[in-house]
Amino acid sequence: MSASSSSASPSSPLFIAALIVLWYSSNIGVLLLNKLLLSNYGFRFPIFLTMCHMSACALLSYFSVAFLKVFPLQQIRSRSQLLRIATLGVVFCASVVGGNISLRYLPVSFNQAVGATTPFFTAVFAYLVTFKREAWVTYAALVPVVTGVMIASGGEPSFHLYGFIMCISATAARAFKSVLQGILLSSEGEKLNSMNLLLYMSPIAVLVLLPATLLMEPDVLEVTLSLGMKHRFMWLLLCINSVAAYLANLSNFLVTKHTSALTLQVLGNAKGAVAVVISILLFKNPVTFIGIGGYTMTVMGVIAYGEAKRRLK
């Protein structure tokens, strides 16, 4: 085998490094572009924005499986499985819409601090829904996760109560979706990988979001066309943002496939910190030492939680 072909192989360090760069850039890119559109461009339509994301995911998922064959197609085996996927799709919609709404009112740095509490909500829902208990040391690691966000909230100059509630709701919905996914698609015959799940969830999400957009954001087309005339690159940003939303899911799947879930968890912890730094530099939102300290405590708690779970497996 030649050196050039080995360097491009799926297991090569160069290939994995490229995947990690794609994962970082797409995840952070979506977050920053959401904030740019919803806050700086006056594009006040988080539900429509989510529908654009889901439409791109539906189209690009089909293109990836039908033409590029990036991942093999898994068939839906029963009506009950379809109903379960639809349930996950609705919960997923709620988490994305809530997160996008929160970005209208909160800086990205604080949004990421609140989002880091996902393990706390996952542990709570796992206990309430499945009665699954973790070791006490695992629960102890969640104390700094919650305490850090409380400290960060008190030290956040741009704190907005409604934005905070929507951000917490989005984080809880994201955790609830992961717990539900484990329950609803746990049988061996009905397991779907994340990309096939996205392939089937995305069209369902669009069907849910379309009437919600028309009902709750009735002037979206008129205002969006007006903003498109005012800001030359708004349509381009909207398209790039929607494609990046799909690439974030695709790279998430590929990084997990070619490395491990633990690697993705470590990268995720670092991603939040990178997103915070970039957003502060880009949007110039004020930060305090109390806020930074609270966020740092939350991240340390998330790392300790992940390490505790890994060791007790």
pLDDT digits (tens, 9 = 90+) for 245-263: 999 999 988 888 888 776 7
* Residue at token pair 């206990």: 127
Question: Tens of pLDDT along 205-221?
Answer: 999 999 999 999 999 99
**Is the four-CA dihedral 84, 89, 94, 96 of positive or negative sign?**
positive
- Best-predicted range by mean pLDDT (7-11, 41-45, 185-189, 201-205): 201-205
**Confidence (pLDDT) at 11:** 63
Interatomic CA distance for residues 313 and 311, integer angstroms = 6
Q: Are 31 and 275 in contact (CB under 8 A)?
A: yes
Cα-Cα-Cα-Cα dihedral of 86, 90, 96, 97, to 10°? 140
**Confidence (pLDDT) at 133:** 85
Is residue 226 included in any domain, yes or no? Answer: yes
CA distances to 59, 73, 85, 103 from 76, rounded to whole Å, are 18, 10, 9, 35
Conformational region of residue 45, where left means phi above 0, alpha means psi within -120 to 50, and beta covers everything else: beta
Is residue 184 included in any domain, yes or no? Answer: yes
Is residue 268 included in any domain, yes or no? Answer: yes
Is residue 7 included in any domain, yes or no? Answer: no
Is residue 191 included in any domain, yes or no? Answer: yes
Nearest CA to 119 among 156, 94, 148, 98?
148
Mean pLDDT for the stretch of residues 33-58: 93
Domain total of the chain: 1
Q: Are 113 and 146 in contact (CB under 8 A)?
A: no
Cα-Cα-Cα-Cα dihedral of 82, 120, 169, 179, to 10°? 10
Question: Tens of pLDDT along 279-309?
Answer: 889 888 888 999 999 999 998 998 898 888 8
Is residue 67 included in any domain, yes or no? Answer: yes
Mean pLDDT for the stretch of residues 238-244: 96
Nearest CA to 34 among 94, 96, 90?
96
Nearest 5°: the CA angle 149, 152, 156 is 140
Q: List CB contacts of 28: < 8 A, sequence separation 6 or more.
A: 271, 274, 275, 278
* Residue at token pair 């957003």: 279
Nearest 5°: the CA angle 292, 295, 301 is 140
Amino acid at 87: T
What is the Cα 56 distance to its own chain's centre? 15
Element (H, E) at 45: none
**Is the four-CA dihedral 219, 166, 149, 140 of positive or negative sign?**
negative
**Confidence (pLDDT) at 6:** 44
Interatomic CA distance for residues 73 and 65, integer angstroms = 6
Is residue 5 included in any domain, yes or no? Answer: no
Question: Tens of pLDDT along 88-123?
Answer: 999 999 999 999 999 999 999 899 999 999 999 999
Q: Which domain holds residue 24?
A: 16-312
pTM for this one?
0.88
* Range with the poorest average pLDDT among 111-115, 158-162, 185-189: 185-189
Is residue 2 included in any domain, yes or no? Answer: no
Cα-Cα-Cα-Cα dihedral of 308, 296, 21, 23, to 10°? 60
Share of the chain above pLDDT 70, in %: 96
